[in-house]
Amino acid sequence: MKIALSLFLVIVFNWSVAAQSVYWQQDLRYTIKAELTEADHSIRAHETLVYKNNSPTTLPFIWFHLWPNAYSNDNTALIRQIKSDSSRSKKMENYGKGSIEGLSFTVNGSPVVIEPHPNPDYVDIVKLMLNKPLAPGDSVVIATPFTVKLPPCFSRSGYADGEFMACQWYPKPAVFDKDGWHPIPYLDMGEFYSEYASFDVSITIPADFVVGATGTLQNADELQAYKKAGAANSADRKGKRTLYQPTTGNSTKTLQYLADQVPDFAWFADRNFVIQYDTTRLPGGRIIDVFSFYHNKKGTIWNNSIDYVKEGVQYYSSRVGDYLYPVVQAVEGPANNSSGGMEYPMITLITSPDAKETTLASVIVHEVGHNWFMCMLGSNERKHTWMDEGLNTYYQFRYEAEKYRANSIFGDAIPDDIKRLSVPEFQRVVYDVIAKNLPMESAMDIPADQYPNSDEYGLVSYVKTALWMFLLETVTSQEQVDKAVQLYFTKWKLKHPGPGDMKAAFEEALNARLDKFFELTKKTGKLE
């Protein structure tokens, strides 16, 4: 690969990073009680939220996301975007409406006024007007009942084939940071930006359902039943499957989950799930629980899914920094959704076709990796997608090369003689082909909704950024790149970093100025 070193010449010298302004982020504590009604695919719930204003600004209002309303009519930003993109429009074959209704907000027990967003297409954003401005350091208690009508699954949240996927399902404040408010509509091409929070969520469901969710399950009998069945299935992957047995004789059960310092809460339920369970010891010595949940069908390649989840959490922990949470999970989604996967804290939904184990392994490892690049490093995915998807793809490509001499961009098209190369040579050849042949005209650092189509969005924010990281590797080393990412993780875990924060951490770790290297994130066309 030709690399113009002068383009981002690394000049090494001793220097100090300029002191940053005082950092702050808001503090949120949710208590949600929810009940799934299977017959009409609805969730009836009540939310209580303690919102503490850690900013230096007095807040007269709080923007709220009501993201289920993105499914409520044919003119929302979500539906307009899907229809306008030929690569995504096939999703409309499964289209059906959803909504969030029955809202009645109170603040500290008193009713408040809710104003719609001025853009009529943004029916999933409202402004909650506070009866009394919220001063710095003060807190308010916000509460509301709500009912979610889940749509058929065609874009993340919904139901299909007896499986329920509750994603972006509850009233949620927009992020307020040093740049102000970030009220963003739900989109299919373009992900999210969320405040860190603690969650106490109780879910009432039919007693024979298996649930995977963000957080740790607090019901000891239920958790033991999951672990018992899951451990048996992990130990014997070719014999008869051990299925979950309900722990109550009642028609319903209520499961409680706790999660701390996470940007979101999602849950998935299906009475047809097979469970796998194991533990894994992180490089730092801590032992965490590992689960996978998949459909009970013949010929499934999910029999080894627990291994891929463990590989993912071990791979990223050893190269980026130890996983911070007590559990990690993967869930098989419906066959009618071709999005590949969608990540949430401690759990990921995988909808990739399962024709090959290498494909499934790569998708699971990628989505588990988002626990670092999305969750623990809470960048603004909508505005700076490359900080999330691109860094994650860089490590995914390394995993694929090391384990399989493969790369998901090329699938089965890689010749055998290339597969016989050493890992560094294999990577060099793969990235050389990417640099010379893949059309990646857009700049990396543009908002997700400004890409001309989803193909360009994927190639640039995922692949072009992985190439960008590989260019840094070629003029330093893989060890130095890991050193830079590890310092970035150490400084910014459980916070909201921006591109400048990443740059400062990289420069400090490498003892180098990287101005021209980071200018490449604004460059259109090829990186060569």
CA–CA gap between residue 9 and residue 427 (Å, rounded): 22
Phi, psi of 170 (to 5 degrees): -125, 155
* Cα 236 from Cα 227, distance rounded (Å): 14
CB hemisphere CA count around 144 (13 angstroms) = 23
pLDDT tens string, the chain, 528 residues long: the values are: 433 433 333 333 333 333 346 999 999 999 999 999 999 999 999 999 999 999 999 999 999 999 999 999 999 999 999 999 877 777 888 889 999 999 999 999 999 999 999 999 999 999 999 999 999 999 999 999 999 999 999 989 999 999 999 999 999 999 999 999 999 999 999 999 999 999 999 999 999 999 999 999 999 999 999 999 999 999 999 889 999 999 999 999 999 999 999 999 999 999 999 999 999 999 999 999 999 999 999 889 999 999 999 999 999 999 999 999 999 999 999 876 556 789 999 999 998 766 688 899 999 999 999 999 999 999 999 999 999 999 999 999 999 999 999 999 998 899 999 999 999 999 999 999 999 999 899 999 999 999 999 999 999 999 999 999 999 999 999 999 999 999 999 999 999 999 999 999 999 999 999 999 999 999 999 886
The pTM score is 0.94
The strand pair at 106-107 and 347-350 is best described as: unpaired
Q: What is the pLDDT of residue 432?
A: 96
Q: What is the per-residue burial (b if ≥16 Cβ within 10 Å, else e) of 127-162?
A: bbebeeebeeeeebebbbebbbbbbbbbbbbbbbee
Structure tokens at 501: 């924060």
Domains of the chain: 5-21+392-522 (no CATH), 25-195 (2.60.40), 205-373 (3.30.2010.30)
- Alpha-carbon torsion, ordered 337, 377, 450, 367, to 10 deg: -20
* CA 517/CA 511 separation, integer angstroms: 14
Q: Which tens digits make up the pLDDT trace of 107-164?
A: 999 999 999 999 999 999 999 999 999 999 999 999 999 999 999 999 899 999 999 9
